[in-house]
Amino acid sequence: MELKAVIDEFILCIQIEKNYSDHTITSYEYDLVQFLSFLRKSNGSTDVACITKTHVRRFIQHQMGMCKQKPRSMHRKISCLKSFTKYCLQEKYLMSDFMASMESPKTDKKLPVYMTLTDLQQLFQMLGEEHSSLSLRNEAMFKLLATSGMRRSELVTLTWEQVDFSSQTIRIHGKGKKERLLPLHPVVLPLLQAYRVNPLLPGYLLHISL
């Protein structure tokens, strides 16, 4: 079966049945289309049953060499191809897994850098003393991040419908479209209330962006 047709089926499967996040779906589709394009340009067969481990190795070599892809990006692409071959095996498009025992390039693990309590207190003090058109937004944004534990991507997509002032909670739509309820810290609540009535802001959108 043609690779393009199977890619379309796979993307539909992870979107509807697996309920993957929009970000993962977009990334996987991009990676698979890249792989398809590579096979076409290198005169390789685009029949799924004809794909071999050698094709994948050459694709990885091309991505890291000509395209200067970093090992971290290749981890995602290889993970995508492994999920794809698993789907192909389930649907009987493949009789053997061309990704079996395929290893990802090694990456240097970077330890996260955390702010100390003193650093955080200094940041909060600086934000409280700032006087500009964005000062209220900035203070609300950083204090939400510091007190709620939400991700940056979750913060920038917040809407007012997710904020419940009566119960002092905020509903987060996280990875895999999973929802969780977070308490609003007392230090953030008055900031959001003041930010909410700002006449310069859209009435329906929290509109905190980086």
Say if pTM beats, i.e. exceeds, 0.75.
no
Q: Work out the pLDDT band at 204, boundaries 50, 70, 90.
A: very low
Is the pLDDT at 54 greater than 50, yes or no? yes
Greater confidence (201 vs 52) lies with 52
Q: State the chain's mean pLDDT as an integer.
A: 84
Q: What is the mean pLDDT of residues 167-184?
A: 84
Residue positions counted in the chain = 210
Q: Are 9 and 91 in contact (CB under 8 A)?
A: yes
Token output for 80: 């995508």
**Of the given ranges (13-27, 101-115, 116-130), which has the lowest mean pLDDT?**
101-115
- HSE value, Cβ hemisphere, 13 Å, CA-based, for 134: 7
- pLDDT number for residue 209: 45
Give the pLDDT mean for 77-82.
Answer: 92
CA 20 to chain centroid, in Å, comes to 10
Say what the pLDDT of residue 104 is.
66
Taking residue 107's Cβ as centre, other Cβ atoms within 10 Å add up to 12
Query: Where residue 42 falls among pLDDT bands split at 50, 70, 90?
Result: confident
Is the pLDDT at 202 greater than 60, yes or no? Answer: no
When computed from its CA atoms, the radius of gyration of the chain, rounded to whole angstroms, is: 23
191 burial type by CB count under 10 A (0-12 exposed, 13-18 middle, 19+ buried):
buried
- The pLDDT of residue 6 is 95
Check pLDDT > 50 for residue 155. Answer: yes
What tokens appear for 111 in the block?
């330890």
* Domains of the chain with bracketed CATH: 3-90 (1.10.150.130), 117-196 (1.10.443.10)
Count CB neighbours of 154 within 10 A: 20
